[in-house]
Amino acid sequence: MPAPLLFGAIADDLTGGTELASMLVARGVPTGCTVGARAEVPSGNVAHVIALKTRVEPAAEAVAHTLEAAEKLLAAGARQIFFKYCATFDSTPQGNIGPCAEALLERLGARATVFAPALCETGRTVYQGHMFGGSQLLSESPKRFDPLTPMTDSNLVRVLAAQSRSKVGLIPHPAVNAGADAIRRALDARVAAGDRLLIADTIYERDLAAIAAATVDLPLMTGNSSVAAHLPPEWIERGQLAISDLVPARLPAIDGPAAILAGSVADRTAEQLERFACAHPLLKIDLQRSVEEAVAEAAAFASLHLAERPFAIATTAPQAVVDELQRQHGRANIAAKAEAILAAIARILVGEMGLRRLIVAGGETAGAIVRSLAIERITMGAYEGPGLSRGIVETPQPLALMLKSGKLGGTDIFEQVLEAMRLPTEMEPAIDKWPPSVLRNN
C-alpha cells in the first residue's frame, strides 16, 4: 500500500516547482509535479508539487490561484502544505508572498508559519533578518535591477511586513543554531507576542535541517526548496515514511532536435548564452519589433539549424537596454511581450518542427512557455545541483525539458544538460548524508 500524501507544495513559479520536486525525487520520495491549479493530483505519491505562475500576478489573483491549488492538495490528503517561493524572496510591497501565506494560514486555521528562503549551497543566507547573496546584501546585489521584482531592501522582516496584515517577527540565529527544540521555543514565544509570520535566520545547511525538524508538524510551512529537502529523514524518523518506500530516480533517454529559449535578464543567463554561442547558433530577439515579426524571424532561424545542431533564441539584453525598453513601454508590458514571443516560438518548435529537447531559462518565461504548450504534468528526475532539475513531458511526443532559474547554473549548463538528456539516468536515493539515527532505526 502506498504511503499517504505527507507533503503538498504550491510553488509560485515553474522553475521553483520543478526544483522542489527534483530535490524530493533525489531523496527517493515518490513525488508528482503538475502545472496550474486545475490539474488533477494523481494518487500514489508521498509528495506532490503544484507549480503555478503567480509570482507577479495581481495579489488577489495570486491568492485565489494559491487557494485553489491548496484545495486540490487537501482533497488528496496532504498532511502539510508548503508554500514555495524564490531563494531571493522575489516580491513587491504589494505581495505576493505575504498575502498568499496569510490566505493559506486562514484556510488551514493555523496560528503561525515560518519563512525559510535561504539556499545555502549558492550562498543565499539570512542573518538578523537580512538576506545576503554571498557577501553582498540582497539590496546591493544584481537583484536590485530585477525587471519585475527589484529587491531594494535586504531586511526580509520589513519586506514581508510591507505586504502583510499580520505581525512579522524573527527567529534569530542563536535559536536556530541551538537546534529544533530551541526553534520551537522561539516560535512559541514570538506567537505569544502576537507574531504570525516568522523569518528564520539561516546561515548553514545544518540550519535548514534544524528548521525542517522544528516545523515538520506545522500545518503550513514556507520557504525555498532547500528547507523542504531536509524533510524526508524527519518523516522516516517519525515512522510516517519507510526507507522501503523510497525509489530510484529514473529518466529515459531523449534524443533529437534541441534548443534553448531564454527570457531571463540575469547576468548568469547572459554568461551562459555567451558560452553556448561560442559553438552554437544564437538569435537575440529585438523587442522593438512586433511579436509577429520576431516570431517569423525566429522560425526562419530555427528551420536553418534544427536538423544540424542545438541553437538558442533569447530576449535577453544588457541592463541598459532593458531599462530603456521599460522606460518606453512599461515594465509589465515589455515582460509580457517577451513572454508572448518565446511562447509562440515554443509552440512552433515543439508542435510543428518536432523539437525533442528544450531548456527554458527564466521563471516567468518558463511559466508562459509551459502554459502555451498545455503541459499539465512533468515527470521529474533527480536534482543534480543549482539550476539542474530536468524532466520529461508528453506533448504528445516525449519532450526532455529543463526549466532553469535565470540566476543559477554553471556557464556550461546548456551544453551539459542537452547532452545528458540523450542518455538514460538512474539515481539511487541520496540518503548518505542523512542523520545516522535515521539509518540505524530503519
Residue 19, CB-side half-sphere exposure with 13 Å CA sphere: 30
User: Domain boundary residue among 249, 283, 298?
Assistant: 249
Q: Kindly indicate the confidence band of residue 236, based on its pLDDT and cuts at 50, 70 and 90.
A: very high
**Quick one: average pLDDT of 114-121?**
96
φ/ψ bin of 173: left (φ > 0), alpha (ψ from -120 to 50), beta (otherwise) = alpha
Same domain? 244 vs 341: no
Q: Are both 113 and 261 inside the same structural domain? A: no
Residue 94 in contact with residue 163, Cβ under 8 Å?
yes
If asked whether residues 419 and 300 sit together in one domain, one would say yes
- pTM across the whole model: 0.92
CATH of the domain at 402: 3.40.980.20
Query: What angle (nearest 5°) sits at the alpha carbon of residue 234, between those of residues 248 and 20?
Result: 55
Based on the domain organization, do 242 and 262 belong to the same domain? no
pLDDT band at 440 (very low <50, low <70, confident <90, very high): very low
Domain that holds residue 122: 7-249
Contact (Cβ atoms closer than 8 angstroms) between residue 110 and residue 220? yes
The reply to whether 38 and 166 lie within a common domain is: yes
Domain count, the chain: 2
With a cut of 90, say whether residue 434 has pLDDT above it.
no
33 and 116 within one domain: yes
Place of cell 538578523: 128
pLDDT tens digits, 368-399: 999 999 999 999 999 999 889 999 998 888 99
pLDDT digits (tens, 9 = 90+) for 311-361: 999 997 666 777 777 777 777 788 889 999 999 999 999 999 999 999 999
Per the rule left: phi > 0, alpha: psi between -120 and 50, beta: everything else, 95 is left
The residue from 205, 232, 249 where one domain ends is 249
pLDDT of residue 3: 59
Give the count of beta carbons closer than 10 Å to the beta carbon of residue 353: 15
**pLDDT of res. 439:** 45
What is the CB neighbour count within 10 angstroms for residue 70? Answer: 23
Q: What angle do CA 8, 228, 125 make, to 5 degrees?
A: 140
The pLDDT assigned to 217 comes to 97
Same domain? 191 vs 331: no
Whether 22 and 124 share a structural domain: yes
- Report which residue type is found at 221: M
Q: What is the CATH number of the domain that holds 219?
A: 3.40.50.10840
